[in-house]
Structure 1
Amino acid sequence: MKSLSILLLLCISFSAFPADHNILAYGAKADGKTISTKAIQAAVNKCSAEHGGRVIVPAGVFMSGTIVLKNDVELYLAEGAEIKGSANNKDYPQPQSADGKKATWALIVALDVHHIAITGRGTINGNGAAPAFQLGDDTAPGYTGIRPNIITMVNCKDIEILNIRLRNSPHWMQTYFRCENLHIKGIHIYNHANLNNDGIDIDSKNVLIEDCVIDSDDDGICLKSDDDTVPCENVTIRNCIIASNCGAIKFGTSSHSGFRNVNISNITIHKASQDLFRHWQQKVQFVDQPITAIAGISIENVDGGKTDNITIDNVFMEDVQTPIFIKLGNRGATKSKDPASFNPGHLRNVTISNVTAVSHSKITSSITGFPGFDVENVILKNIRITTPGKGTAAEAEAPLPENETAYPEARMFGVTLPSSGLYVRHAKGIVLQNITLQTLNVDARPQIIMDDVKDAQISLLNIEQTQISNAVINLVNSKNILWLNPNVIPSSHPLLTVDGAKSSGITVTGLKRSAGKVKVSATVPDGAVSVD
């Protein structure tokens, strides 16, 4: 009797373990032609109803439309398995979450569920090059097409996306909106079948992205903030390789609530493997190689959000037009019912360190707010930026438009900036520490311009240029600026120029007074500049 009781207990225990559900048993066909949506969905439904487990996709190509993941289901793609998206957009009904909001069409959808995963060594292919999906840019006026993502998840918790290969989405590769506890690890993304081909889009909290390889036409890893009340927050991104034709690491452009507590480290950025749509060298003047990313690091707060506590460390980037682009803007006012009282929020407490970058345009790295609204407390340290140079005196003197409501990207100010290394305007609390700016060719622009900047400190600034033909730093209407121990090779040109009637509290230490090293315009008040 005791033996029978033990046997029954073991049977009950084993029956409680999650089961595997092979989609072949539900009628799926691995012929690359038959639409197997119903069979795969039946396996998912059964798996969830039986307290969860794995839905197994074995080796072979399975055509499918939208698959809806359910609670406690792991979609496992075996080695050699491929789910390939149907080329008929009628196979992608628009999902709707429990709160009544419609979500983006997708091949794999999860709404309001928990404990879900997509794992394995197989591939999910969005079939994005199919003629039915070649509908142009979704930002174009009048765009009404249906182009599904590969993955859309909304209001989900406890998600794992591990090791799979994602290829050729008709639209974004994957998007996670208002999700919590998301772990993406070891995935390989190749996304060059269409426009708007982002790699990973995150608008969630408690997120870890690690050990991923991304090659995308559009943005690589893009943090978004579409909800007016819930920020994108508590995000860690580490140990990733990103190739992109647009923004490799990007915050925005959607930035309604903003971004908080984001830590990014150990990232390699380079050009995408191909460029089927962008052709920046043909479209953007002064881009000096055929394939480039628009920017390596872009932090954009332009829709009223509050962006705070961003740390980025140990980044190597090449093949970028602009290494670093930080922008507080006022685009949200253009969509507000009361533009005059629209609050643009804030962008502050950003630290970027240990970066090596090689750029390929005249569009300098920049940190900019707009009049009356400063970017605050940005630290750049241990940064080395190599630029092509060839800037002209006319470019150095050309006025730069504010353009505060424009689409935020590095070239929103034009195809050149008036400085060759870094441009800072409408900012407070800027620290530049151990910055090396190398210019490969003679450049008539100052290496650094600060315009309407308060409370800045510059130390260990190194300039590597065969011939300095302009000031190293130009300060315009800036206050409380401290430059410690300049170590620039003397030249016939001043190291520092100061302009503007609002300039005050500018101090250079460790520089013996010498004719021509500091040039102060007649508009600057007496006593505004001191040199030790």
Structure 2
Amino acid sequence: MKKICSILILSMVVLWQSCANKTGFNVKNYGAVGDGATINTQAIQKAVDECHSKGGGTVIIPEGVYISGTLYMKDNVNLHLEERAILKGSASFSDYPDNKVKYINSFTHPPGKEFGCKALIFAEGVRNVSVTGKGTIDGNGDNPAFQLGNDSSPESRKRPCMLLFIDSKNIKVHGLHLRNSAYWLQNYLGCDTLHLKGLNIYNHTNFNQDAMDIDANNVLVEDCNIDADDDGICLKSHDPNRIVENVTVRNCTIATNCNAVKFGTKSDGGFRNINISNCFIKKASEDNMRKWQENLKFIELPTTVISGIALESVDGGMVDNVTVSDITMQDVQTPIFVIMGRRNAGQAGNQDFYNSEKNGLEPSLKVGRVSNLTLRNITAISHSKMTSSISAVQGYYVENVTLENIKISTMGDGTKAEADAPLPEYAGSYPENRMYGFVYPSSGLFLRHIKNVTLKNIDLSVRKEDFRPSVILDDVHKISIDNLMAAPPAGNQPIFKIINSTAIDLSNTKTGTNPLAVLAGTDKKEVTGNHDR
């Protein structure tokens, strides 16, 4: 029996070696040189093409530094970087040709703008592709050739993404070190079935260095360690006829100078069936250009995250059936930021504006829909006066929201004048926590234009004396609040400020000796429940 097992194991090893020889395409055999100087685009592409032509397999990049321009992925090819292998982007724009993309969307075909869709690794319409290994892909984004500022200029929009996959299916990117992109690091547009796992991302040398931008369906992002200057995990929706749906993000650490988890800003079709869980959010390890404490008011730390969770629908798309759970945040300005609105007609990226202008019509500024949000088991420490908020453009409502087991420690330091100052309505500006100004009139939570809300087990504390109410409800209808604890505002100010709202049920709310609420445009009969005042 032992002899039979030995023969069987030997046969399996021989079979594995045979398969490896059949499917392994080492780029050195095609003329690639890992000396950090030779341009290897043609050699690596030859390996990819032959691998594809023979039915697929693995293209191996061994130890060394391989400089390359655009590589075109093909069906059934795994580009595998071995440990100590570095694929580094060329510093010459001539090594990144413009790509004519068939899939029309607002990223590849932005109205009124030129965009070359350049990338270090590019694919459109491919199936069953992967980029894997323990090696490193370096986009060379710190090179002077790519230091072109923000992407508001045509020249800057010509920078290559590191990975750009369009209208492709069954994509895996696993285990790699990804760093120093010249533009967006990963960009998946109109894709289906995407798995990002075990990625170590470090991105701090240029503008627009999002760690991952995902416009795809059936997505799993897990076990990734992100440290980026721009947004961390960013869901985008560039096609009004296509909803980004069935996305799971779990077990990730996200360090950023911008937003950690963000939906948008581009939100044409929208987002549905999204689950974000078990993530740790913190400040980036370096800040070379944001300098929020210097450029904004009332920021407590030199380096901060803008918003931990930013859910935005401002281009007519939906946000529906979203669960965010088991999240720990530190170093954030605003833990939770949700906005349903519409951008101004002239706002960059407003597709309706360009379509209407082209046809000589007034722009039709469509408002999307945000509903069925559940945020639970979230702990956060914030360092600004920009409170967590959920709001909509006036005349519309976010619907069906549950906040449960939320614990937020805020900076505090709000004055009586700041407590009394009304927060401006959303006016179509770029959606960011500071779009209303640098101070909100509540210290913990601001809710405006919402229907059907549940708050359960909410703990809001402040670290400095604060005169602002803990919670403001403005045009909120049918809300149940059970077991809310809040630090009593200074000056014996009320815990709640309730404006033009109805059907408010307060149970087990602890206010100490402070008044429970001040009402404005709200009948006191609308406030019911078992509370201590």
Q: Give the alignment's TM-score, normalised by structure 2.
A: 0.90
Match for 1:235 among 247, 251, 255? 247
Write the letter of the residue equivalent to 1:240: C
1:354 equivalent in structure 2: 377
Contact 1:97-1:112 within 8 A present in 2 as well: no
Match for 1:457 among 466, 480, 492? 480
C-alpha separation in 1, matches of 2:451 and 2:210:
33
1:279 equivalent to 2:291? Answer yes
C-alpha separation in 2, matches of 1:322 and 1:150:
30
Contact 1:76-1:119 within 8 A present in 2 as well: yes
2:50 equivalent in structure 1: 46
C-alpha separation in 1, matches of 2:270 and 2:104:
24
Match for 1:198 among 205, 210, 229? 210
Shift, 1:14, TM fit: 6.0
C-alpha separation in 2, matches of 1:186 and 1:245:
21
- 1:235-314 mapped onto 2 (5 Å cutoff): 235-314=247-326
1:421 equivalent in structure 2: 444
1:76 equivalent in structure 2: 80
1:499 equivalent in structure 2: 520
Shift, 1:246, TM fit: 0.3
1:509 equivalent to 2:529? Answer yes
Size of the aligned set, in residue pairs, is 500
1:59 equivalent in structure 2: 63
Cα distance change, pair 495–100 in 1 and its aligned pair in 2 (3 A)? closer
Q: Deviations over 1:438-479 (max 9, x none)?
A: 101110110000111111111100113585642101000001
Contact 1:174-1:201 within 8 A present in 2 as well: yes
Match for 1:367 among 390, 397, 405? 390
Match for 1:158 among 156, 166, 170? 170
Contact 2:103-2:167 within 8 A present in 1 as well: no
2:11 equivalent in structure 1: none
Contact 2:488-2:512 within 8 A present in 1 as well: no
1:30 equivalent to 2:34? Answer yes
Shift, 1:139, TM fit: 2.9
Shift, 1:488, TM fit: 2.0
1:520 equivalent in structure 2: none
Gaps of 5+ in 2: 1-13, 109-115
Match for 1:432 among 435, 455, 458? 455
Cα distance change, pair 144–185 in 1 and its aligned pair in 2 (3 A)? closer
User: Alignment partner of 2:526: what SS?
Assistant: strand
Cα distance change, pair 128–469 in 1 and its aligned pair in 2 (3 A)? farther
Q: Deviations over 1:338-372 (max 9, x none)?
A: 66753312001000000000000000000000211
Q: Deviations over 1:382-409 (max 9, x none)?
A: 0000001000111111122213311001
C-alpha separation in 2, matches of 1:303 and 1:208:
25
Q: Deviations over 1:243-267 (max 9, x none)?
A: 0000000000000011000001000
Contact 2:341-2:368 within 8 A present in 1 as well: no
CA RMSD of aligned residues (A): 2.1
Contact 1:480-1:504 within 8 A present in 2 as well: no
Shift, 1:509, TM fit: 2.3
- 1:73-222 mapped onto 2 (5 Å cutoff): 73-99=77-103, 102=108, 104-139=117-152, 144-222=156-234
Q: Deviations over 1:161-184 (max 9, x none)?
A: 110110100111101011111111
Write the letter of the residue equivalent to 2:183: H
2:112 equivalent in structure 1: none
C-alpha separation in 2, matches of 1:234 and 1:17:
37
Cα distance change, pair 453–31 in 1 and its aligned pair in 2 (3 A)? same
C-alpha separation in 1, matches of 2:57 and 2:407:
49
User: Alignment partner of 2:145: what SS?
Assistant: helix
Shift, 1:489, TM fit: 1.2
Write the letter of the residue equivalent to 1:396: A
User: Alignment partner of 2:396: what SS?
Assistant: coil
Shift, 1:97, TM fit: 3.3
Contact 2:467-2:490 within 8 A present in 1 as well: no
User: Alignment partner of 2:312: what SS?
Assistant: strand
User: Alignment partner of 1:247: what SS?
Assistant: coil
Greater shift, 55-64 or 459-468, is seen at 459-468
C-alpha separation in 2, matches of 1:480 and 1:34:
70
Match for 1:396 among 419, 442, 463? 419
Write the letter of the residue equivalent to 1:510: N
Write the letter of the residue equivalent to 1:118: V
Shift, 1:23, TM fit: 0.4
Q: Deviations over 1:284-330 (max 9, x none)?
A: 10001100010000000000001100000000000000000000011
C-alpha separation in 2, matches of 1:55 and 1:104:
24
Contact 1:18-1:51 within 8 A present in 2 as well: no
Shift, 1:485, TM fit: 2.4
Q: Deviations over 1:230-249 (max 9, x none)?
A: 01110000000000000000
Cα distance change, pair 346–196 in 1 and its aligned pair in 2 (3 A)? same
2:8 equivalent in structure 1: none
Gaps of 5+ in 1: 1-9, 518-532
1:527 equivalent in structure 2: none
Write the letter of the residue equivalent to 1:167: R
2:498 equivalent in structure 1: 475
Q: Give the alignment's TM-score, normalised by structure 1.
A: 0.90
C-alpha separation in 2, matches of 1:340 and 1:98:
27
Contact 2:216-2:245 within 8 A present in 1 as well: yes
